[in-house]
């Protein structure tokens, strides 16, 4: 996968998190129709840029957009 696609996916993830609020990794994959790998790469991109918040609860990852 190339950086352009990862960056584009990151934009889609951020928009969905901004729109819907906090989502689990599973719900994010459902909302975007991304594979787990595509979602994880996009999340890594956004985390590196400081644009999302990650938290764990009951062994699940939850994500939200920083506004």
Domain extent at residue 56: 3-65
pLDDT, tens only, 25-58: 999 999 999 999 999 999 999 999 999 999 999 9
pTM exceeds 0.75 for this model: yes
Q: How far apart are CA 24 and CA 46, in angstroms?
A: 15
CATH number of the domain at 18, please: 1.10.10.10
Q: Please, which pLDDT band fits residue 62 given cuts at 50, 70 and 90?
A: very high
Question: Which uninterrupted H or E stretch holds 60?
Answer: strand 60-65
Q: Please, which pLDDT band fits residue 64 given cuts at 50, 70 and 90?
A: very high
What is the domain count for the chain? 1
34: left (phi over 0), alpha (psi -120 to 50) or beta: beta
């Amino acid at each position: 996968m190339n950086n352009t696609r990862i960056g584009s996916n990151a934009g889609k993830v951020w928009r969905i998190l901004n729109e819907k609020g906090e989502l689990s990794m599973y719900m994010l994959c459902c909302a975007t129709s991304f594979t787990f790998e595509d979602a994880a790469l996009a999340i890594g991109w956004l985390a590196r840029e400081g644009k999302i918040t990650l938290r764990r609860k009951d062994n699940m990852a939850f994500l939200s957009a920083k506004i």
